[in-house]
């Protein structure tokens, strides 16, 4: 195993800021990121990723290869929640199993952004259209998670609510999944980057390119603070869920590598596709599930995705997945 690539990722500035946040919690520092500022960082990352993806899509255009890759993204976001649901049902009720399954069928924009930076630093090209893949993997996973709950709970009309005031319907669920704020911003930025073309690239260059790594570092600092504050909840979740939060990304990454090899993706695209398959959402899915499934325990879902899977992927997963892909592809 090439430990130099793992060490390189571990010692990158954004990842080190994540650990700074963890340490700050451990030493009980009063360091904090105000919620409004933390939300701004989230908005910026979604905006930046979307704009860059739209610009790359403008240059590459739509091809049959890109369409096949996007279809593969949708298929993974439909299959993973179903398999994860039945595994989780061994220990959890339908509500928690469905919510967590949707989380692991969906994606993490920050993990994706970190992976983009890492692969660029390695000098490996990757298509910007992978951002489109990320955008379309959020909603199907949410919908599948909710459908699995509906199929398990017979009296779902009284048990499953999309809000405190009205009972859910499939239409409500789809609307919440498709028009979630993070998805609207990501897809909207992608379209704007595509439509604006070269002029938009010049106009936004400084904001999109020059300050990205600094903003990512500050966001990961906040993620370290949040993850550190949630660590105590892991003790209550037990070994099963902690193991699930580590093993599931590895299995999904293996599936992602296999699929990307079969459809002939480049090394860079295969890597980003694998990251999408291996990551777990801790923004869009928890927000949607909190509304649609109030019975789900967020103190289980969030620590798994944010305090286990997220750091596992950015520290070990990212360099390891790329190393395996390069070996298989013969690079």
pLDDT at residue 160, as a whole number: 47
Residue 139: give the domain boundaries. Answer: 3-329
Q: What is the pLDDT of residues 255-264, one digit of tens each?
A: 999 999 999 9
- Sequence-ordered alpha helix ranges (H) in 106-178: 109-121, 130-152, 156-159, 170-178
Q: Which residue ranges in the chain fall short of pLDDT 50?
A: 155-167
Q: What is the pLDDT of residues 120-169, one digit of tens each?
A: 888 898 877 788 888 778 778 888 888 888 788 754 444 444 444 444 55
pLDDT at residue 8, as a whole number: 64
Q: Are 97 and 141 in contact (CB under 8 A)?
A: no
Q: Are 208 and 48 in contact (CB under 8 A)?
A: yes
pLDDT at residue 159, as a whole number: 47
Angle at 273 between CA 292 and CA 324, to 5 degrees: 130
Question: Coil, helix or strand for 107?
Answer: coil
Which CATH number belongs to the domain containing residue 271 in this structure? 1.20.1530.20
Question: Per-residue b/e over 131-161, b at no fewer than 16 CB within 10 Å?
Answer: bbbbbbbbbbbbbbbbbbbbeebeebeebbb
pLDDT at residue 180, as a whole number: 65
C-alpha atoms less than 13 angstroms from C-alpha of 80 in its C-beta half-sphere: 36
pLDDT at residue 274, as a whole number: 96
Number of structural domains in the chain: 1
Question: Coil, helix or strand for 161?
Answer: strand
pLDDT at residue 9, as a whole number: 63
Angle at 215 between CA 213 and CA 220, to 5 degrees: 95
């Amino acid at each position: 195993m090439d430990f130099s690539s793992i060490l390189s990722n571990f010692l990158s500035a954004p990842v080190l800021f994540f650990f700074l946040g963890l340490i700050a919690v451990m030493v009980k520092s009063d360091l904090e990121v105000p919620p409004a500022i933390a939300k701004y960082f989230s908005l910026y990352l979604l905006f930046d990723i979307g704009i860059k993806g739209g610009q790359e899509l403008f240059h590459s255009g739509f091809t049959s290869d890109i369409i096949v890759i996007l279809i593969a993204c949708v298929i993974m976001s439909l299959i993973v929640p179903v398999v994860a649901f039945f595994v989780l049902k061994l220990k959890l009720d339908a509500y928690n199993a469905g919510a967590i399954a949707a989380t692991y069928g969906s994606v993490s924009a920050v993990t994706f952004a970190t992976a983009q930076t890492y692969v660029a630093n390695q000098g490996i090209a990757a298509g910007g259209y992978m951002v489109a893949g990320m955008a379309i993997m959020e909603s199907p996973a949410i919908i599948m998670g909710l459908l699995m709950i509906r199929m398990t709970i017979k009296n779902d009309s009284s048990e499953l609510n999309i809000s405190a005031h009205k009972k859910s319907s499939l239409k409500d669920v789809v609307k919440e999944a498709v028009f979630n704020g993070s998805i609207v911003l990501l897809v909207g930025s992608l379209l704007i980057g595509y439509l604006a073309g070269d002029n938009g690239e010049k106009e936004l260059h400084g904001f999109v390119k020059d300050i990205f790594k600094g903003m990512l570092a500050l966001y990961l600092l906040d993620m370290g603070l949040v993850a550190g504050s949630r660590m105590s909840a892991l003790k209550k979740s037990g070994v099963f869920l902690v193991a699930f939060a580590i093993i599931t990304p590895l299995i999904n990454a293996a599936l992602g590598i296999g699929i990307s090899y079969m459809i002939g993706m480049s090394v860079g695209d295969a890597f980003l596709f694998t990251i999408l398959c291996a990551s777990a959402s801790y923004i869009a899915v928890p927000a949607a599930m909190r509304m649609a499934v109030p019975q789900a325990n967020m103190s289980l879902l969030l620590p798994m995705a944010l305090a286990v899977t997220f750091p596992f992927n950015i520290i070990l997963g990212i360099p390891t997945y790329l190393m395996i892909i390069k070996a298989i592809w013969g690079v």
